[in-house]
């Protein structure tokens, strides 16, 4: 059985992970195909405000008479985009710091870990709020802010993996034949250190979606784009009058984050089968 086949065999044994993957695939499909199947601008005032679901529009309208379903569809694209891009950026920064610190050790390890610990001492959401408030609240700036507060945990994990691998026989053999450090790091240790990092990166997507939703709820989202957090922020003043306005995007965030967490657990079981046996 090849590597992919063995991975899939272990992954599908986790039914919760498979269910999470199906739900996540549906959310991604909604983000990709939804705007073409339901071509309504989420900022257009298409009806009177506070229309309940299934009155005229499938999910009703918000405080300004905008179609909530259109907001859900377009919000899926923004929330997933920010979550994935922030996770990729955080993983790239964290793996770079962790690889250099774990492989070389010494003063390089001390210097890079002190920087990492500095970011860990600051509450991540508070730092994200400060960064977005200083700069303009655009999708790019929000993504960068989330990446900045998310990379330290990836760096510490990557450092631990590199420390565990740097003195093994295959690495010593590479040094003995004169292989340069960058080649040992990228081509030899990195493939062996990536599985737990991939799991953390998948979970970081869920954290990034929650962080973006919190920022948008506080009014620090991109004003030119609709996200699920933005929709909850708009509806927070009418929770008693029209609770569905906040409940629908909140449910989408809950389902998406839960699906990502289930997929992350499945990846952990599939990529680290020995850890599960323990």
Task: Encode pLDDT of 70-116 as tens digits.
Answer: 999 999 999 999 999 999 999 999 999 999 999 998 899 999 999 99
pLDDT in tens, 12-50: 888 888 999 999 999 999 999 988 989 888 998 888 888
Residues 6+ apart with CB under 8 A from 5: none
Looking at residue 277, what is its pLDDT?
46
DSSP tag of 67: B
Burial class (CB in 10 A: 0-12, 13-18, 19+), 228: buried
**Among candidates 209, 199, 220, 105, which has minimal Cα distance to 153?**
199
- pLDDT given at position 273: 54
CATH class of the structural domain 3-40+56-277: mainly alpha
Taking 70 as the threshold, does the pLDDT of residue 180 lie above it? Answer: yes
Q: CA of 265: how far to CAs of 20, 203, 262, 271, in Å?
A: 10, 9, 5, 10
- Confidence (pLDDT) at 274: 53
- pLDDT of residue 195 exceeding 70, the answer is yes
Position 60 scores a pLDDT of 86
Q: Where are the domains of the chain?
A: 3-40+56-277
Q: Is 28 left (phi over 0), alpha (psi -120 to 50) or beta?
A: alpha
SS3 label, residue 224: coil
What single DSSP character describes residue 51?
Answer: P
pTM (predicted TM-score): 0.87
Q: Are 139 and 81 in contact, with CB atoms under 8 Å apart?
A: yes
């Amino acid at each position: 059985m090849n590597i992919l086949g063995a991975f899939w065999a272990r992954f599908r044994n986790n039914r919760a992970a498979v269910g999470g993957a199906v739900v996540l695939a549906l959310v991604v499909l909604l983000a990709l195909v939804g705007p073409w199947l339901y071509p309504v601008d989420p900022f257009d005032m298409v009806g009177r405000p506070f229309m309940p679901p299934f009155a005229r529009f499938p999910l009703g309208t918000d405080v300004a008479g905008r179609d909530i379903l259109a907001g859900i569809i377009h919000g899926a694209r923004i929330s997933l985009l920010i979550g994935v891009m922030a996770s990729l950026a955080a993983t790239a920064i964290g793996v770079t710091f962790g690889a250099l610190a774990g492989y070389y050790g010494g003063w390089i390890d001390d210097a890079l870990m002190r920087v990492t610990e500095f970011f860990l001492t600051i509450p991540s959401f508070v730092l994200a709020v400060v960064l977005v408030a200083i700069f303009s609240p655009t999708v790019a700036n929000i993504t960068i802010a989330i990446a900045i507060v998310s990379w330290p945990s990836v760096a510490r994990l990557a450092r631990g993996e590199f420390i565990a691998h740097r003195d093994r026989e295959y690495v010593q053999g590479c040094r003995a034949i004169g292989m340069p450090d960058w080649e040992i790091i990228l081509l030899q240790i990195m493939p062996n250190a990536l599985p737990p990092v991939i799991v953390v990166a998948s979970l970081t997507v869920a954290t990034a979606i929650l962080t973006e939703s919190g920022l948008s709820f506080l009014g620090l989202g991109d004003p030119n784009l609709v996200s699920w957090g933005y929709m909850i922020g708009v509806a927070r003043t009418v929770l008693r009058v029209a609770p569905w306005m906040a409940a629908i995007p909140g449910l989408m965030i809950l389902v998406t984050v839960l699906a990502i967490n289930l997929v992350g657990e499945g990846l952990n079981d599939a990529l680290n089968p020995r850890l599960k046996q323990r």
